[in-house]
Amino acid sequence: MKPDDARTVYEGKLIDVTVERWGDHEREIVEHPGAVAVVAVDGEDHVWLVRQLREATRRELLELPAGTAEPGEEPLETAQRELREECGLRGGTWRELTAFWTTPGFCREYMHVFVAEGVEPGAADPEADEALEVVRWPVADVGRRLGEIEDAKSLAGLLLFLSERCAS
Amino acid sequence: MKPDDARTVYEGKLIDVTVERWGDHEREIVEHPGAVAVVAVDGEDHVWLVRQLREATRRELLELPAGTAEPGEEPLETAQRELREECGLRGGTWRELTAFWTTPGFCREYMHVFVAEGVEPGAADPEADEALEVVRWPVADVGRRLGEIEDAKSLAGLLLFLSERCAS
């Protein structure tokens, strides 16, 4: 399954834009290297979140730790690197919780979401353009605080984590 | 809270791309008119989903009915129009379930998710470039079929709907 024709109409730093022709219609598609997010739970059963300015939204959002794949990285490597950089968390037992397209109508970003349980605090190492505040929530409080989350990947990841824990 | 400078680097049909300067760093931002998704439940307690080719993903995905705001439309209007066009569903009792940024790291798309309960079937009227298959799932089956959903908004919307129903 592939387009009849494709042309790059914008080449940027993080994203490119491609226009694809499929039969009688065209689609504008944002190219993206892929991303990860992590539901990280420490030994005191707290989940770690990050609050940061999201320039596109004009304000700070509270989200799961997350980031974009570097060239050649496997999703689990990206996730472990990002969790260390953003939160200083190391170790723990990792598994993939889910994976999804973030906005399949116009963007090729595919995201893997991991659960890391029993992670251990250490020194964080955020990137130069990231100013992050780390926030810890008791897992028992997450369900009634979901109204504070305005980010799709974080809602999906936290809800799925909670629903699996309830079922087990 | 706003950038020191912004310039449009790509003007497309659905999306534009802006580069914003915030202090010492730049952000590439995909401009998007905003969107909606609907958890639509009929009188037999079935939720309605749509399966369609998503060109960006190179295959068909199963998703909540959803769509992009037309100029001047309120989110609820967009949602009711899209549900009628894609599924032929009318009527029902509507409420907003949640709203979120779909990919706040690089895109200005904000999405409202509605629940419409007691919707009634009628004739669908998809757009010319949409080939949709409508799928109905009993609400009672949704939880164990979430692995078939690979779309962030649909996972978040369905999980939140289920969690609220369980709690009530």
Confidence (pLDDT) at A56: 96
Of A19, A100, A128, the CB nearest to B150: A100
Confidence (pLDDT) at A165: 87
Residue B60 Cα, gap to closest chain A Cα (Å): 10
Measuring CA to CA, how many Å separate B138 from each of A116, B6, B15?
Answer: 32, 48, 36
pLDDT one-digit tens code per residue, A24-33: 999 999 999 9
Q: Which residue has the higher pLDDT, A54 or A126?
A: A54
> What is the arithmetic mean of pLDDT over B153-163?
97
> Is A14–B106 a contact, with Cβ atoms under 8 angstroms apart?
yes
Predicted confidence band at A128 (pLDDT cuts at 50, 70, 90)? low
Rounded to two decimals, what is the model's pTM?
A: 0.95
Q: At residue B112, does pLDDT exceed 80?
A: yes
Confidence (pLDDT) at B39: 98
> Is B152–A102 a contact, with Cβ atoms under 8 angstroms apart?
yes
> What is the arithmetic mean of pLDDT over B104-121?
97
Confidence (pLDDT) at A1: 86
Q: Which residue has the higher pLDDT, B131 or B117?
A: B117
Say whether B77 is catalytic. no
Residues of A in contact with B25 (CB under 8 A): 128-129
Which of B107, B113, B164 best probes binding to A when mutated, by most A CB atoms within 10 angstroms?
B107
Cα–Cα dist B162/A27, whole Å: 33
Confidence (pLDDT) at B166: 81
Predicted confidence band at A122 (pLDDT cuts at 50, 70, 90)? confident
> What is the arithmetic mean of pLDDT over B112-123?
95
Q: At residue B77, does pLDDT exceed 70?
A: yes
Question: Max alpha carbon distance in chain A (Å)?
Answer: 56
Average pLDDT, chain A: 95
Q: Do residues B54 and B35 lie in contact, with contact meaning Cβ atoms separated by under 8 Å?
A: no
- Residue in B closest to A164 by C-alpha: B143
Residues of A in contact with B167 (CB under 8 A): 143
Residue B147 is classified by DSSP as G
Confidence (pLDDT) at A129: 66
> Is A101–B66 a contact, with Cβ atoms under 8 angstroms apart?
no
The number of C-beta contacts closer than 8 angstroms across A and B is: 173
Cα–Cα dist A12/B107, whole Å: 14
Confidence (pLDDT) at A51: 97
User: Phi, psi (5° rounding) for residue B82?
Assistant: -65, -40
Residue B97 Cα, gap to closest chain A Cα (Å): 10
Q: At residue A115, does pLDDT exceed 90?
A: yes
Residues of B in contact with A151 (CB under 8 A): 100-101, 104
ipTM metric: 0.94
> What is the arithmetic mean of pLDDT over A18-28?
94
What is the sign, positive or negative, of the torsion defined by CA atoms of A23, A25, A30, A34? negative
> Is B101–A151 a contact, with Cβ atoms under 8 angstroms apart?
yes
Confidence (pLDDT) at B153: 98
